[in-house]
Amino acid sequence: MHQTPIATSSPARRDTMLLPSSLTTAVIALLSVSARPSEGRLALVDNGYEDLVVAISPAVNEAYAMDLIWSIKRTVSEASAVLFKATRRRAFFRDVKILLPMTWTSTTYDQLAFNQHFQSSEIRVDVSNAAYGGQPYTDQPGGCGVPGRYIHLTPEYLLNDGEAAWWGPRGKTLVHEWAKLRWGVFAEVGFPRDPAAPPFFWNSQGEVHGAENVSPTYCANRELSGELRDDLTNASCSYVDGLPDANCRFRPNASQAASSSLLGYYHMNSIVEFCDSVFASEKPHAVLAPSRHNLMCKGRSVWDVMGLHPDFEGGANPPATASSPTKVTVLRPEVVRIALVLDYSSGMSDSRRIDKLQRSVKRWILREVPDGLFVGIIKFWSHAYPSAELTEVTGQSRKDLASRIDNILSSGCSIGAGLAMAMDVLENQNNPIIVVVSGSHEDNYPYIDDMLSKVVKFGARVVTVALGEVTFPPNIPASQSSSEGPTPRANSTPWPRRREGRRSRFRTRAKAGPDEGLLGALGYQPGGRPDDARVKVRGKGVVGCIFSSRREREPGVLARCWSPIQFIVGAAHCKFGLTQTEKSPSQERSASDNDQWHSCRCRDYRRCLVGCLSAGGRGRIVDLESSSACLRGLLYPCQCYSERERTRELTHPLSCLGPYGVDIPNNPVIVYAEIKQGNNPVVDARVRATITQPSEDLDAVELDLLDNGQGADTQAGDGVYSRYYTLYSGAGRYSVEVQVWDDGYAYVNNGYEKSNQQFLKTPTYCCGSVVPSSPDLGTPTGNFSRTVAVGSFQVLADPPAGDLLPPSRVTDLQASAAPLSLDLTWTAPGDDLDAGTVAGYEVRLSRNRSHLEDDSFDARGNETLLTLEESADMAELLLEAGQKVTLNLTLEDELERNRTYFVAIRAVDDVGLLSAASNPVVVVALESPPPSRPRHPRTPSAAALGHRPHRLRLARRRGIGGRRRRLCPEEEKTP
Instruction: With beta carbons less than 8 A apart as the criterion, state whether 443 and 416 touch.
Output: no
Note whether residue 808 is domain-resident.
Answer: no
Give me the percent of the chain exceeding a pLDDT of 70: 69
Model confidence at 480: pLDDT above 90: no
d(CA 838, CA 874): 12
Model confidence at 70: pLDDT above 90: yes
**Each residue of 211-238: pLDDT tens digit?**
778 999 999 999 999 999 988 888 999 9
Confidence band for 471, pLDDT divided at 50, 70 and 90: low
Same domain, 316 and 379: no
What's the pLDDT at 11? 34
Model confidence at 90: pLDDT above 80: yes
Domain that includes residue 839, residue range:
814-925
Looking at per-residue pLDDT, the higher value among 677 and 660 belongs to: 677
Q: Could you give the C-alpha distances from 401 to 374, 391, 424, 576, 880, in angstroms and in order?
A: 11, 8, 19, 32, 52
Short-list 269, 5, 268, 15, CA closest to 159: 5
What's the pLDDT at 441? 87
* Other beta carbons within 10 Å of 562: 11
Confidence band for 556, pLDDT divided at 50, 70 and 90: very low
d(CA 568, CA 608): 10
* Other beta carbons within 10 Å of 489: 10
The 3 state secondary structure assigned to 222-246 is: CCCCEEEEECCCCCCCCEECCEECC
* Other beta carbons within 10 Å of 808: 24
Same domain, 159 and 246: yes
What's the pLDDT at 661? 63
CB-neighbour burial class of residue 618 (10 A; exposed 0-12, middle 13-18, buried 19+):
buried
Same domain, 52 and 122: yes
**Each residue of 293-307: pLDDT tens digit?**
999 999 999 999 999
**Each residue of 925-940: pLDDT tens digit?**
876 544 444 433 333 3
Stated pTM of the model: 0.75
Three-state SS at 490? coil
- Strand 48-50 to 92-93 pairing: parallel
What's the pLDDT at 535? 29
Q: Could you give the C-alpha distances from 590 to 404, 552, 586, 909, in angstroms and in order?
A: 35, 11, 12, 60
d(CA 691, CA 30): 11
Three-state SS at 924? strand
Same domain, 792 and 657: yes
Same domain, 301 and 424: no
Q: Count of residues for the chain?
A: 975
**Averaged pLDDT for residues 875-890:** 93
Question: Can you say whether the dihedral through the CA atoms of 101, 102, 103, 108 is positive or negative?
Answer: positive
What's the pLDDT at 662? 74
Same domain, 428 and 325: no
Same domain, 320 and 352: no
Last residue of a domain, which of 448, 466, 484?
466
What's the pLDDT at 574? 31
Q: Residue 188: what residue type?
A: E
Three-state SS at 24? strand
User: What is the rounded (10 degree) CA torsion for 644, 645, 649, 652?
Assistant: -20
**Averaged pLDDT for residues 852-881:** 88
Q: Which of 53-62, 173-182, 248-257 has the lowest mean pLDDT?
A: 248-257
Note whether residue 878 is domain-resident.
Answer: yes
Confidence band for 278, pLDDT divided at 50, 70 and 90: low
φ, ψ dihedrals at 245, nearest 5°: -75, 180
φ, ψ dihedrals at 191, nearest 5°: -125, 135
* Other beta carbons within 10 Å of 353: 23
According to DSSP H, which parts of 853-900 are helical?
868-872
CA-based diameter of the chain, in Å? 94
In 819-920, which ranges are E strands?
821-827, 840-846, 863-866, 884-891, 900-908
What's the pLDDT at 85? 97
Query: What secondary structure does DSSP assign to 82-128, as a single string?
Result: HHHHHTTSS-EE-EEEEEPPTT--SS--SEE-SS--GGG-SEEE-SP
The average confidence (pLDDT) of the chain is 74
Confidence band for 515, pLDDT divided at 50, 70 and 90: low
**Each residue of 743-780: pLDDT tens digit?**
889 999 998 766 555 555 667 788 999 999 988 889 99
Model confidence at 545: pLDDT above 50: no
State the helix-helix crossing angle for 415-425 and 448-458, rounded to 10 degrees.
20
d(CA 866, CA 905): 9
Looking at per-residue pLDDT, the higher value among 614 and 425 belongs to: 425
Short-list 740, 735, 711, CA closest to 652: 740
Confidence band for 445, pLDDT divided at 50, 70 and 90: very high
**Each residue of 333-345: pLDDT tens digit?**
988 899 999 999 9
Note whether residue 53 is domain-resident.
Answer: yes
Model confidence at 484: pLDDT above 90: no
Note whether residue 733 is domain-resident.
Answer: yes
Burial 226-263 (b: 16+ CB within 10 A, else e): bebbbbeeeeebebeebbbeebbbbbbeeebebbbbbb
Domain count, the chain: 4
Last residue of a domain, which of 274, 308, 331?
331
What's the pLDDT at 635? 29
Model confidence at 112: pLDDT above 50: yes
The 3 state secondary structure assigned to 726-754 is: CCCCCCEEEEEEEEEECCCCCEECCCCCC
Last residue of a domain, which of 305, 331, 357?
331
Note whether residue 641 is domain-resident.
Answer: no
* Other beta carbons within 10 Å of 171: 18
What's the pLDDT at 519? 64
Same domain, 282 and 394: no
**Each residue of 22-66: pLDDT tens digit?**
223 334 444 443 333 333 479 999 999 999 999 999 999 999 999
What's the pLDDT at 466? 76
DSSP designation for 38: T
d(CA 578, CA 600): 12
Give the CATH number for residue 343. Answer: 3.40.50.410
Model confidence at 1: pLDDT above 80: no
Strand partners, 787: 739
Three-state SS at 964? coil
Instruction: With beta carbons less than 8 A apart as the criterion, state whether 735 and 741 touch.
Output: no
Note whether residue 530 is domain-resident.
Answer: no
Short-list 535, 509, 470, CA closest to 794: 470
Instruction: With beta carbons less than 8 A apart as the criterion, state whether 450 and 355 touch.
Output: no
Note whether residue 951 is domain-resident.
Answer: no
Same domain, 704 and 791: yes
d(CA 298, CA 888): 26
Instruction: With beta carbons less than 8 A apart as the criterion, state whether 336 and 371 touch.
Output: no
What's the pLDDT at 970? 33
- Could you tell me how many helices (H) and strands (E) the chain has, helices first? 11, 48
Give the CATH number for residue 831. Answer: 2.60.40.2550
Model confidence at 923: pLDDT above 80: yes
Q: Which helix (H) or strand (E) holds 773?
A: none
**Averaged pLDDT for residues 866-874:** 90
Query: What secondary structure does DSSP assign to 123-189, as a single string?
Result: EEE-SPBTTTBT--EEE--S-TT---SEEEE-HHHHH-HHHHHHH--HHHHHHHHHHHHHH-----B
d(CA 262, CA 176): 6
Q: Which of 375-379, 624-628, 727-731, 757-761 has the lowest mean pLDDT?
A: 624-628
**Averaged pLDDT for residues 800-817:** 92
Model confidence at 3: pLDDT above 70: no
Short-list 734, 709, 670, CA closest to 810: 709
Query: What secondary structure does DSSP assign to 243-256, as a single string?
Result: EE-TTEEEEE-S--
Model confidence at 503: pLDDT above 50: no
Same domain, 273 and 412: no
Q: Which of 347-356, 368-377, 490-499 has the lowest mean pLDDT?
A: 490-499
List the Cα angle 674/679/680 in 5-degree steps.
85
Which residues does 315 contact at the CB level (< 8 Å), separation at least 6? none
Q: Which of 218-232, 369-383, 610-624, 808-822 has the lowest mean pLDDT?
A: 610-624
Residue 397 C-alpha from the chain's centroid: 38
What's the pLDDT at 486? 31
d(CA 890, CA 868): 18
Q: Could you give the C-alpha distances from 303 to 172, 299, 311, in angstroms and in order?
A: 17, 12, 12
Model confidence at 821: pLDDT above 80: yes
Q: Residue 967: what residue type?
A: L
Instruction: With beta carbons less than 8 A apart as the criterion, state whether 348 and 439 touch.
Output: yes
Model confidence at 960: pLDDT above 70: no
Query: What secondary structure does DSSP assign to 203-217, as a single string?
Result: --SSB--GGGGEEES
Residue 342 C-alpha from the chain's centroid: 32
Same domain, 318 and 343: no
φ, ψ dihedrals at 833, nearest 5°: 55, -110
Same domain, 257 and 394: no
Looking at per-residue pLDDT, the higher value among 343 and 494 belongs to: 343
Instruction: With beta carbons less than 8 A apart as the criterion, state whether 201 and 922 touch.
Output: yes
Instruction: With beta carbons less than 8 A apart as the criterion, state whether 472 and 464 touch.
Output: yes
Note whether residue 947 is domain-resident.
Answer: no
